[in-house]
A and B are shown apart, each in its own frame.
Chain A
Amino acid sequence: MSATGDNRERGGGEPILDVRDLRVWYGTGGDPVRAVDGVSFSIGAGETLGLVGESGCGKSTLGRGVIGLLPDAAAVAGSVRYRGRELAGLPVKEMRELRGPELGLIFQEPMTRLDPLQTIEAHFRETLRTHRPDLDDDEVRRRSLETLAGMGIPRTRFGQYPHEFSGGMRQRIMIALALVLEPKVLIADEPTTALDVIVEAQILGILADLRRNFDTAILLITHNLGIVAEACDRVAVMYAGEIAEEGDAREVFAEPAHPYTRELLRSTISLETTGLNYIPGAPPSLIDPPPACRFHPRCPNAMRVCAERHPIEVRTKAGQRVSCWLHGPEEQIPEGGREPLEREELLEAEEA
């Protein structure tokens, strides 16, 4: 790997989170599921990186791998450095201490993450007592109320139970619970997927304020390209456990370097859509992904080399990292490798 996703312009100096060649494989009795297969990226302070991909591409596993929240059956390899400190292989107890005050988390389904038998006040008390035993009761209450109010939760509702709140309010409470510890990094896994479009836009506004006001680094995991475009500085596009392309969000959307990114953007139905486009076939199984470039069976630009050799990551002129033979490196492409790939026509039925 030559260019491995340094982005030090924005964060100033060392990135706050630096992931190198991360692999997460799940054992299923038979062949392993290679959910994350050699992924590298970094995030600087105050920066939002969007991690986008279709279901089953490994993006949620990647988010969990970063913060050490994987099931026992998962095998992890590679490096995750947080402010220079290696997290991979850290004892469970030390990892648990980092999770919350350093690495905050927001999940998709807020209701499943809040204890139905505890008031909102109790949730905050427990969180702060665990991670900030130095604070007295008054300070715990003051910080909790200020954070909640900052998320637009009425102060008079501090003593209420999770079921008394709407879906959007619960997600605000979840965000407040993560923020009350003032984490440097926030990992948000589909934070708005269960919400209505107006509430979703409200939550995106909150995330935008966060990175502006608190210099929080955010890893925003989503399947929604519109959310990435609105909320992220950079975007990493995942396909079948790998990052196909990564770069400045505006650049990637304006001039996608990887055919998958391009086709995904073309097939996304937006208000500007005037014709239907789709990618033939379906996302592959991660137990037995296609050899060489994993996208080659569905790729309209596939060349002979794409079915023979795994692509090598290169950096484009515009600064994107891309793993696609279209961008070279030329010297690695064998004689005749740029010839179009001949293949049997896909059955219509296999398309979708």
Chain B
Amino acid sequence: MNETAGQPSAEPSAENVLEVRDLHTTYSVRGSFFDRLRGRESGSVRAVDGVSLDLRRGEVLGLVGESGSGKTTLGRTLLGLVEATSGSIRLEGEELTGRGEADLRPLRRRMQIVFQDPHASLNPAMTIGALVADPLRFHKLVSDREELRARASEALERVGLAPASEFLDKFPADLSGGQKQRAVLARAIILGPDVLVADEPVSMLDMSVRAKILELMLELKDELDLTYIYITHDLATAKFFCDRIAIMYLGQVVELGPAADIYERPHHPYTAALLRAIPEPDPRRAVPRDLPRGEVPDAVVPPLGCPFHPRCPKAFEVCGWESRDLRTLLEDRWTRLSQDDYERERAGVGNLDVLDVPSVDTILPAPDGGTGEQPAEVLAAMRADAADDPFWSGVAATEVTDAGVRVRFHEPRVPRDLSVDRSVVRCHLHDPEALAAAEEIRSERDRD
């Protein structure tokens, strides 16, 4: 069952419209004015961090994740709206990366995008007819005014804005939110694309009209033989709408599989956590208590090892425990102490900023003029109060020194893509090598 998926076949497959291999998109960040004053260096964000996937003809593939997961950047990179840093995107065998704008343009006709905000997607100064026909004009496919109008009418009627004569000369402001999104869809299909990337197409719409737009998209898909990439943070619409789903976290696809499997037996602890957190319109279900702690971490300096390990309830020895996790755990403990207890404990450790440098060999510093015994006591108290925290599995050794208590962690492993049932999962829980490494650590510890 547990096998390395490796690189999917390099041969183009007739089934796949789009084949993406080890795609990276990196943004450089300059940091804020304050960061520069403090001498903090600018860095880069790996918004898309090694994504491989196939888009099968006629399917709906969901890219699902929280904000900052890289789902939107991935969608835009596929369309060439953002330049890929490395990796490969093939549209029916033709490489899209590394092309100039003029070279890319004819291929773009085959891939169109629908954005989240229909109000912002439509130029308020243009009529609906002109907006919908604009791609034909832009790609110099049609210049005759009558024909542009006729083609716009056809597209409008196809998306349910009928009779088209009622809408051609209206302006976006005259339309409701749902009607605007229909107009955006009309514009997206007018070039006869193969692939439609829909980035949160219904999340700005009212609950009572969302289903109507999704239904229309499914009709269009069948009538026009479209293939969809559906980008969303909403697991509920994704469940209904998608054939397969890629769950993204910090730029990586952590789990990719058939939609039914993702919901029925999630393999990645992050997928399971997302599903538990969804508020369901059923009052018999209470707010879950076993939520992952914290939030999505800073993508400029992502966690070592697995990006989800600091929040993961199932993380173990080799998942990437490091200095910053120690700080998080300590500060979290302090929020639960009384002010007096906190102050007493705080006085036992020095400046915590040394822990901010990601490291597997770090020091919980002694206070100025204090001894290493003091932070060692704090560490012991932490451990006694939260012995079950997965963090402690990552601690290889502690040693009291003059500077403080030295904490060494087990060597982090970067998770790789593994086939589990019908899914591909990037998690050590499914990796026999990672499990064996942890087992070895445990038996060594027991021997000592």
Q: Which residues of A contact B (CB under 8 A)?
A: 54-55, 142, 145-146, 148-150, 152-157, 163, 166-169, 196-202, 204-205, 208, 223-231, 249-250, 253-254, 263-265, 267-274, 276-279, 282-283, 347-349, 351-352
Residues of A within 8 A of B237 (CB): 269
Q: Are A54 and B283 in contact (CB under 8 A)?
A: no
A204 and B279 in contact (CB under 8 A), knowing A152-B335, A155-B342, A352-B178? yes
- Please, which residues of chain B bring their CB within 8 A of the CB of A254? 283
Closest to A168 in B: B295
Assuming the contacts A201-B287, A271-B239, asked whether A349 and B335 have C-beta atoms less than 8 A apart, the reply is: no
Q: Known contacts A55-B206, A156-B331: does B285 contact A230 (CB below 8 Å)? A: yes
Whether A205 pairs with B263 at a CB distance below 8 angstroms is no
Q: How far is the CB of B288 from chain A (nearest CB, A)?
A: 6
| Residue of B whose beta carbon sits closest to that of A201 | B277
B280 touches A226 (CB 8 A): yes
Given contacts A166-B295, A169-B295, A282-B176, contact A149 B281 (CB under 8 A): no
- By the criterion CB–CB under 8 Å, are A225 and B166 in contact? no
> Nearest Cβ in chain B — how far from A184, in angstroms?
23
Q: Contact check: which of A156, A253, A351 meets B334 at CB < 8 Å?
A: A156
Contacts of B273 in A (CB 8 A): 198
Q: Name the CB-closest residue of B to A54.
A: B206
Smallest beta-carbon distance B203→chain A, Å: 11
Complex interface bits, B204-242 against A, C-beta within 8 A gives 1, otherwise 0:
011111111111000000000000000001111101100
Closest to B336 in A: A149
User: A282 CA to B206 CA in the complex, in Å?
Assistant: 9
| Cross-chain contact B287 with A204 (CB below 8 angstroms) | yes
8 Å CB contact of A276 from B215, B277, B280? B215
Other A-B pairs beyond A196-B296, A271-B235, 5, CB < 8 Å: A154-B334, A229-B281, A230-B283, A270-B278, A282-B206
Q: Is the CB of A349 within 8 A of B166?
A: yes
The 5 closest A-B pairs by CB, nearest first: A352-B178, A226-B279, A154-B331, A196-B66, A279-B208
Q: Kindly list chain B residues whose C-beta atoms are within 8 Å of the C-beta of A198.
A: 66, 273-274, 277, 291-292, 295
Interchain CB contact under 8 A, B274 and A352: no
* Contact of B167 with A by CB under 8 A: yes
CA distance A54 to B283 in the complex (A): 20
A150, A168, A230: most-surrounded residue (chain B CB, <10 A): A230
A residues within 8 A CB of B283? 229-230, 249-250, 253-254
The answer to whether B279 touches A229, judged by C-beta atoms less than 8 angstroms apart, is: yes
A352-B287 in contact (CB<8A): no
Bound state CA distance, A227 and B214, in angstroms? 23
> In the complex, what residues of B have CB within 8 A of residue A264's CB?
207-208
If the complex has contacts A229-B283, A278-B211, A279-B209, are A273 and B277 also in contact, measured as CB distance less than 8 A? no
Indicate which residue in B166, B176, B210, B278 contacts A226 across the interface (CB closer than 8 Å). Answer: B278
Contact in complex: B280, A54 (CB < 8 Å): no
Of residues 160 to 179 in B, which have CB atoms within 8 Å of A's CB atoms?
Answer: 160-162, 166-167, 176-179
Report how far A325 CA is from B182 CA in the complex, Å.
Answer: 34
Specify which of A169, A202, A249, A267 is in contact with B207 (CB 8 Å cutoff).
Answer: A267
B206 touches A283 (CB 8 A): yes
Q: Bound complex: CA of A145 vs CA of B237, how far in Å?
A: 40
A282 smallest CB distance to B (angstroms)? 4
Asked if B281 and A225 sit within 8 Å, CB to CB, the answer is yes
Task: Find A349's partner among B167, B240, B285, B286 (CB 8 Å cutoff).
Answer: B167
Residues of chain A with a CB closer than 8 A to B44's CB: none
> Closest approach, in angstroms, between the C-beta of B175 and any C-beta of chain A?
9
What is the CB-to-nearest-CB distance from B218 to chain A, in angstroms, rounded to a whole number?
8
Chain A contacts of B285 at CB under 8 A? 229-230
Taken together as a complex, chains A and B put the C-alpha atoms of A152 and B275 apart, in Å, by: 23
Would you call B210 and A269 a contact (CB within 8 A)? yes
Q: Is the CB of B277 within 8 A of A197?
A: yes
Listed residue (A145, A155, A231) with the most chain B CB atoms within 10 angstroms of its CB:
A155
Contact partner of A282 (CB less than 8 A), chosen from B209, B211, B274, is B209
User: CA of A274 to CA of B239 in the docked complex: distance in angstroms?
Assistant: 9
Whether the Cβ atoms of A223 and B287 lie closer than 8 Å is: no
B425 to chain A, nearest CB (A): 19
Judge whether B140 is part of the interface by a CB distance below 8 angstroms.
no
- Select A352's contact among B67, B182, B289, B296, beta carbons within 8 Å: B182
Chain A proximity of B204: nearest CB distance (Å): 9
The CA of A227 and the CA of B279, in the complex, are separated in Å by: 6
Residues B138-183 near A (CB distance < 8 A): 160-162, 166-167, 176-179, 181-182
**Which residues of B are found within 8 Å of A271, using beta-carbon distances?**
235-236, 239, 263, 275, 278, 280
Contact status A269-B211, CB under 8 Å:
yes
Residues of A within 8 A of B178 (CB): 282, 351-352
Give the distance to chain B from A271, nearest Cβ to Cβ, in Å: 5
CA distance A264 to B211 in the complex (A): 11
A270-B291 in contact (CB<8A) = no
Q: Which of B166, B236, B332 has the most chain A CB atoms inside 10 A of its CB?
A: B236
A231 surroundings in chain B (CB, below 8 A): 279, 287
In the assembled complex, B284 has its CB within 8 A of some CB on chain A:
yes
Partner of B281 from A148, A197, A268 at Cβ < 8 Å: A268
> Does B7 touch A at the CB level, under 8 Å?
no
Residues of B within 8 A of A347 (CB): 162
Is B32 an interface residue when CB atoms closer than 8 A count as contact?
yes
CB within 8 A of B287: which of A208, A270, A279, A282? A208
Query: A230 CA to B215 CA in the complex, in Å?
Result: 28
Chain A residue at minimum C-beta to C-beta distance from B281? A225
Cβ 8 A contact of A270, one of B209, B236, B335: B236
Question: How far apart are A288's CB and chain B's nearest CB, in angstroms?
Answer: 15
What are 8 A-B residue pairs whose CB atoms fall within 8 Å in the complex?
Answer: A201-B291, A231-B279, A264-B208, A269-B211, A271-B280, A276-B215, A282-B206, A352-B213
Q: How far is the CB of A144 from chain B (nearest CB, A)?
A: 10
Verify if B11 is at the interface (C-beta below 8 Å from A).
no
Nearest B residue (CB) for A152: B335
Known contacts A201-B277, A229-B282; A349 and B208 CB within 8 A of each other: no
Q: Is B379's beta carbon under 8 Å from chain A?
A: no
Q: How far is the CA of A67 from the CA of B208 in the complex (A)?
A: 29
Tell me how far the C-beta of B225 lies from the nearest C-beta in chain A, rounded to whole angstroms: 21
Give chain B interface residues in 230-288, CB to chain A under 8 Å. Answer: 233-237, 239-240, 263, 273-288
Distance in Å: Cβ of B180 to nearest Cβ of chain A: 10
Closest to A149 in B: B335
**Cα distance A336–B207 when bound, in Å?**
34
Q: CA separation between A348 and B167, bound complex, in Å?
A: 13
Residues in chain B near residue A223, CB distance under 8 A: 206-207
Residue of A nearest to B65 (CB): A196
* Residues in B neighbouring A269, C-beta threshold 8 A: 210-211, 214, 234, 236-237, 240
B residues near A224, Cβ cutoff 8 Å: 279
Contact of B339 with A by CB under 8 A? yes
| Cα separation A283 to B276 with both chains bound (whole Å) | 32
* A196 CA to B240 CA, complexed, in Å: 20
Cβ of A278 and Cβ of B179 under 8 Å apart? no
Q: How far is the CB of A318 from chain B (nearest CB, A)?
A: 14
CB of B278 within 8 A of CB of A349, answer no
B50 to chain A, nearest CB (A): 22
Given A197-B235, A352-B182: A230 in contact with B240 (beta carbons within 8 A): no
Closest beta carbon of chain B to A299's beta carbon, Å: 12
Q: Is B403 an interface residue (CB 8 A)?
A: no
